[in-house]
Amino acid sequence: MGDSDAVGAFTRRRRATFAAGRVASLQPMNGRSAAVCQSSAIADISTDNGSEKKREHSLERALFKSKNEKKKRRNDIGDRLSCHRTQESLLTSTSGYNNYRGILNWCVVMLVLSNARLFLENLLRYGVLVDPIQVVSLFLNDPYSWPAACLVIVSNVFIVVALYTERQLSKGSFSELVGFLVHCINMAIMLTFPAAVVLLVPSVTPVGGAFVLGIYTILFLKLYSYKDVNMWCRELSTAKAKKLARSLSCPSPQYFNRGDRKVCYPGNLTIRDMYYFVFAPTLCYELNFPRSPGIRMSFLLRRLFEMLFFTQLLVGLTQQWMIPIIQSSMKPLEDMDLSRMTERLLRLAVPNHLLWLMFFYWFFHSSMNFTAELLRFGDRQFYQDWWNSETVTYFWQNWNIPVHKWCLRHFYKPLLRSGFSKIVSQSAVFLLSAFFHEYLVSVPLRMFRLWAFMGMMAQLPLAWFVGRFLRGNYGNAAVWMSIIIGQPFAVLMYVHDYYVLHYRQEAD
């Protein structure tokens, strides 16, 4: 009622104003002409109209405000009467809530505090055990004898033999069968020769032997890819499939920067091209690698700083944290005390896993990006989001992209093309990986216990079980458990066997 009375009064005032204006326009005032009076009246009417519009806007705002206040009062009353609605708890999977940043920060804080307590306890019990000079002794027994370095230098012979063989094949001096036999002999010697030296030469330390065998394994995979790609190029040239040859051996110009020269087979068979591939952070050979525009010095220096920092951190934590736990685990392992063995395994799991994560970042991010930036190597996808793995297969496909690409390109797909099933091909890939894991561990330690081999082959039933029965977060948790528990178990087994084989015999 109050709103309607106000509107009526406003309308009556407006009518009276217009009537007064019409009367004033008909009568002269103070001797002025009717035209002058009329123009003055029009001006007064326009002024009155402006003021009336302002009053209209103010009245409309007042009406709108009063309506909002009424609506707010009604909502307040409704809220007091009813305060519930259908909704899910935040931690329920169907709620759609996924912002757990605060919980993640809490986990990080708790992890830091717990490990800080363990580190302080370690310092109070053992003192400072970090000794940089001791690290040198891990690589050298005799300062005048460097067998590991000599083996690395000798590896150039196998590189030159592979290049020479491909040059002879490109000219037709070697038949395909002869070239294949030369490559097979060359790569077989690459695996057996350094292993024989490590086993027979006493001055080769376990760490130095593992380093050398790792380099020879990388070269073996690289030269195998080099052999395959050049063979494919010869097959394409023989078949005169020009379009397909250009797409494979000479990629389209968008892969190259201005000034980069494209190479076609056999123009790639040069020392420069060969050694670029040897040092490039990849295992798969191409005639023309994608190249980055230039070298970013700031990026290069950051990666170099990370490499130096994490190297010191890895060495320090291994000496201060890992070695005391391993040494204290020998007695429970000898006595076969299962409860104490389990306790030592769980104690070892945390530092072992932390060191593994640091090594992953040091090698796959810092070191490989440093090498790629130095060589202007464009493909920097050395890993993917393996930490989100919901299956074991996804983890092995994404945590080491260079090895995965090599297995897919030169082993898995050729097996499929040969008529083998996917299950057989996947099993063969795991078998090859298990062989190299055991090769890189057992030969430097000079003992064959097959713990690494069995650990890799155990991934097959684990992958089947996780893929079949676990999904989502449960699968991801299973993958993390296999990484955190599996590795320290293998470490304990090898260290125990090495200790029993060497140090206990010396003590006896």
Quick: pLDDT tens for 364-403.
Answer: 999 999 999 999 998 999 999 899 898 999 999 999 999 9
- Give a yes or no: residue 174 inside a domain: yes
- Give a yes or no: residue 480 inside a domain: no
Q: Which residues are catalytic?
A: 437
Q: What is the pLDDT of residue 184?
A: 95
Say how many CA atoms lie within 13 Å of 220 toward its Cβ.
19
Which residues lie below 8 Å from residue 347, measured CB to CB, with a gap of 6+? 325
- Give a yes or no: residue 127 inside a domain: no
Four-residue CA torsion sign, 128, 132, 134, 135:
positive
- Give a yes or no: residue 43 inside a domain: no
Q: Is the pLDDT of residue 120 over 60?
A: yes
Note the residue count of the chain: 508
Q: Is the pLDDT of residue 259 over 50?
A: no
Instruction: Locate all alpha helices (DSSP H) within 95-252, ordered by sequence.
Output: 101-126, 132-139, 147-171, 176-200, 206-239, 242-249
Cβ atoms of 186 and 162 closer than 8 Å? yes
Cβ atoms of 394 and 338 closer than 8 Å? no
Torsional class of 54: left (φ above 0), alpha (ψ -120 to 50), beta (otherwise):
alpha
Structure tokens at 143: 């300062």
3-state secondary structure of 399: coil
Other beta carbons within 10 Å of 151: 22
Q: What is the pLDDT of residue 7?
A: 42
- 75 or 214: which leads in pLDDT: 214
- Give a yes or no: residue 126 inside a domain: no
Domain count, the chain: 1
The residue range of the domain holding 280 is 142-243+260-286
Q: Is the pLDDT of residue 438 over 70?
A: yes
Q: What is the pLDDT of residue 105?
A: 84
Residues forming a β-bridge with 377: 291
Residues forming a β-bridge with 291: 377
Per the prediction, the chain carries an average pLDDT of 80
- Give a yes or no: residue 278 inside a domain: yes
The Cα–Cα gap between 210 and 194 comes to 10
Local confidence band at 305 (pLDDT 50, 70, 90 cut-offs) = very high
Predicted TM-score (pTM) above 0.85: no
Instruction: Locate all alpha helices (DSSP H) within 280-376, ordered by sequence.
Output: 297-317, 323-328, 330-335, 338-360, 368-375
Q: Is the pLDDT of residue 26 over 50?
A: no
Local confidence band at 332 (pLDDT 50, 70, 90 cut-offs) = confident
Four-residue CA torsion sign, 351, 356, 358, 359:
positive
Average pLDDT over residues 444-455: 86
- Of 14-23, 311-320, 331-340, 437-446, which has the strongest mean pLDDT? 437-446
- 435 or 11: which leads in pLDDT: 435
Other beta carbons within 10 Å of 14: 14
Local confidence band at 117 (pLDDT 50, 70, 90 cut-offs) = confident
- Give a yes or no: residue 488 inside a domain: no
- 53 or 48: which leads in pLDDT: 53
Residue type at position 192: T
C-alpha pair distances (Å), 324 with each of 122, 126, 144, 487: 9, 8, 31, 17
- Give a yes or no: residue 180 inside a domain: yes
Structure tokens at 22: 């019409």
